[in-house]
Structure 1
Amino acid sequence: MKKLLIAAFATVLMSGAALADTTLKLVEVITSPERTETLKSIVSKFEAANPGTKVEIISLPWGEAFQKFATMVSAGEIPDVMEMPDTWLSLYANNGLLESLEPYLAKWEHTSGLTDRALELGRDVNNTAYMLPYGFYLRAMFYNKKLFQEAGVAEPPKTMDEFVAASEKVSKLPGKYGYCLRGGPGGLNGWIMFGATMAGSNKFFNDDGTSTMNSEGWIKGLTWVVDLYKKGLAPKDSVNWGFNEIVAGFYTGTCAMLDQDPDALIAIAERMKPEDYGVTTMPKGPSGKTFPTIGYAGWSMMAASQNKDLSWKLIETLEGPEGNVEWNKRT
């Protein structure tokens, strides 16, 4: 009997240890091999600091991420933590699927070190922090110095007229084009930037609530983009290009200019020498103004998580000074 009791006690101890192990699910949606490896590196530090806790990273390809994640949620396959793009935040927060991070931020030692802009954008829905941005995506113009020199372009264009002139010179080179047009998925940002720049205003609505998109300035800006393509200043296939295609078009030397966020540097810096390309501000319109977009993404906790405190610890690791610096240096 004594032996049986000892055996039973040992079994209980073993099953208790198994029950103590916890797996958090984390979904990344702005996925690339480099990002995933960086994420794994930061997550490994979290796992080391929290014995018995494992993180399962689910990587969704960006081009299909919205549909795939929506399918996961509708099927009840809800993660604990997810990478939240700015354009998804309202949908998931307003449907009650995201946990407020306010109680955690109120106690976090690093909250006071966050910029006002990070907190403002994280609280974009109902003035509640349903996500914490890990960084901002501010548009700028990449340009190929070697192609400029070959085409006789002395310096990067400062205005939209100079942009067209530079594109025309580069496009005279065999197999080369001035601009990597994003005509496919995610291309709206470029159209909006150039429309606003030509209009001299980023105001989307008139005082009476009607759209400004059919005003003279906006029409000129949108037509300007169409004309770039029609004149052959962008590759013919670029009408279908998304993020990966335009970045590849730039680093392969197919086109001399690319408007993109900092994360384009992941691929560009690996394939181009630093002295062969530069980054400058977006070209200005007739008003002397330019309107680059600012986007952001961050980490959110799902309201359905059964391990909220651990999930916050994971977000802490990702968003704290050490993790955030490692992430942004790479991405």
Structure 2
Amino acid sequence: MKKRVFISLLLVMLIGVFSFGVVTLNFIEVLTSPARTQVIKEIIADFEAKNPDIKINLISPPYEQADQRATLMLNTNQALDIIEVRDYTVKQFVNNGKLENLESYLAGWEHNDTLTFVANQAARTVDDTAFIVPQFFFIKGLFVRTDVLEELGVNYIPKTMSELVELCIEITDPDKNQFGFGFRGKSWEFKFSDLIATSFLSDIDAANIYKTQSGDVYFDDPRALEGLKMYVRLFEGGVPADGINWGFNEQVNAFVSGITPFLIQDPDTVALVDEMLGREYYTVVPVPVGPSGKAYLDYGFSGLGIPSYSKHKEEAWEFIKYISSPEVNAYYSKSYGPLPIHSSTYENDPYFSSGVYTAWSYMMSHPEKYVFASYPLDSEKWPGWPEIHQQDMQSLLLGDTTIEAVAAKWAEYWAD
């Protein structure tokens, strides 16, 4: 009996010894989906196998509740060591003192030098200081149905906005159900009209896409008015009439069916078009530049940060640098659909160094032409803006108002 007790006590002591020092990190993701969460779990399992002294508890709230849950956990200092931070929540978290400054961590990271220009810009969204390590990007590219253009006798791909609009109008033939451009009429449609209008200006403030570098709102600037005129001309001459009501699904369906051989969309559209159409029938090229010689691209992203009150910051960094490493980040991006964060991935990984992804690689490596600009997401005026813009743009496209009237209204709305 004594021998059994002794052995039991010995086992308890051994278990205590081997479990001593194991740290459990709480990690909350916010862009939750079953497929993406499964990929993250796979990455966590690989990390834990390589780091047996660190365990990770993944918190995956329903997508609709995730931002609210993450904000609540941070604001109430709940146990949290790694947090997924979105482009429009990072400033709020930093201003509340809830995110750790990661500059010293990045300085000692072996892969810091291969972060793309855009990754470095996104990391330092607030106060030019890195509070997150971006995990991926959504940047628009021009999808082109090369087979349709060949059938129509077109032997070039537009490199300027003017060429794109004129070609879309030229190939449009409503009697044959042939149009030029996969228009976005609803649901954040301003990102498409802004892309054309801003390309007429050379002095947009990258920190606020609705202002010039001199701090002025530019909607009623003559250059911006010309851009809006081009956008209206594209709708009137190169788009199906019901394009005014199109969202993402309608855009993609029209592109896949060949009704509209040009589409501007994000990289996660690639997998969908591959499945519905096949890579041999289309390509992706850089977004055409405007008369300014530039295109202003907004970029969606999320990144990982460390709560400032975490008791396990070093261990949290070990995981962040693992999931952010070129190899793991490339795997993550392939599985999920967005763009990876390392320039070396676009150089060395065949999946990203050839084919459609070369368009995004080119844009990210030519900042003199492609300026990555941010929307004023932290403005109190932002929440109501998408609906206001959509209503005004629909009125404009239907002929119920004028370019000058909507431009004046928008300029007044965004005035300081």
TM-score range, shorter chain: 0.7 to 0.9
Contact 1:27 1:60 in 2 (8 A): no
Q: Quote how far apart the aligned CAs of 1:227 are.
A: 4.4
Q: Which residue of 2 aligns with 1:154?
A: 155
Contact 2:184 2:251 in 1 (8 A): yes
Cα gap change, 1:288 to 1:129, in 2 (>3 Å): closer
- Note the 1:206-285 alignment, pairs <5 A: 209-231=215-237, 233-234=239-240, 236=242, 239=245, 241-242=247-248, 246-285=251-290
| Aligned with 2:193 (options 191, 194, 204) | 191
Q: CA RMSD in A?
A: 3.7
Question: Equivalent residue for 2:28?
Answer: 26
Change (3 A) 1:161 1:118: closer
Change (3 A) 1:111 1:313: same
State the alpha-carbon separation in 2 of the partners of residues 154 and 22 from structure 1. 59
Q: How many residues align?
A: 325
Query: 8 Å contact 1:96–1:303 — kept in the other structure?
Result: yes
Q: Deviations over 1:123-175 (max 9, x none)?
A: 23123210112344443211112332344433322333332333232453655
Percentage of pairs with the same residue? 29
Question: Is the Cα contact below 8 Å between 1:80 and 1:305 reproduced in 2?
Answer: yes
Q: Offset of 1:122 from its aligned partner?
A: 1.2
- Deviation of the 1:211 alpha carbon: 0.9
Of 307, 313, 318, the residue aligned with 1:313 is: 318
CA distance in 2, matches of 1:198, 1:117: 22
> Normalization by structure 1: what TM-score?
0.78
- Farther off after superposition, 201-210 or 301-310: 201-210
Give the distance between the partners of 1:59 and 1:235, measured in 2 at CA.
40
Deviations 1:300-326 (A, max 9, x none): 223354433332122111111321232
Task: Name the structure 1 match of 2:87.
Answer: 86
**How far apart in 2 are the matches of 1:207 and 1:298?**
27
Distance (whole Å) between structure 1 residues aligned to residue 81 and residue 178 of structure 2: 47
> What is the CA–CA distance in structure 1 between the aligned matches of 2:57 and 2:260, rounded to whole Å?
41
- 2-structure distance, mates of 1:234, 1:292: 25
The 5 A counterparts of 1:1-331 are: 2=2, 17=19, 20=22, 22=24, 24-29=26-31, 35-51=36-52, 53-56=55-58, 58=60, 61=63, 64=64, 68-74=66-72, 79-115=80-116, 118-168=119-169, 169-170=171-172, 172=174, 174-175=176-177, 177-203=179-205, 204-205=210-211, 209-231=215-237, 233-234=239-240, 236=242, 239=245, 241-242=247-248, 246-330=251-335, 331=337
Asked whether the 8 Å contact 2:183–2:239 carries over to 1, the reply is: no
Q: Is the 8 A contact 2:27 2:57 kept in 1?
A: yes
Partner Cα separation in structure 1 for residue 322 and residue 71 of structure 2:
25
The aligned amino acid for 1:308 is K
Scaled by the length of structure 2, the TM-score of the pair is 0.64
Contact in 1 for aligned 2:165/2:230 (Cα 8 Å): no
**Aligned amino acid, residue 313 of structure 2:** K
Q: 1:272 to 1:43 in 2, by over 3 A?
A: farther
Structure-1 separation of matches of 2:33 and 2:155 = 35
Instruction: Classify the secondary structure of the residue corresponding to 2:261.
Output: strand
SS at match of 2:88: helix
Structure 2 SS opposite 1:255:
coil
Name the SS for the 1:262 alignment partner.
coil
CA spacing shift, 1:305–1:226, aligned 2, 3 Å? farther
The Cα shift of 1:48 comes to 1.5
Gaps of 5+ in 1: none
Alpha carbons 2:29, 2:66 under 8 Å: kept: no
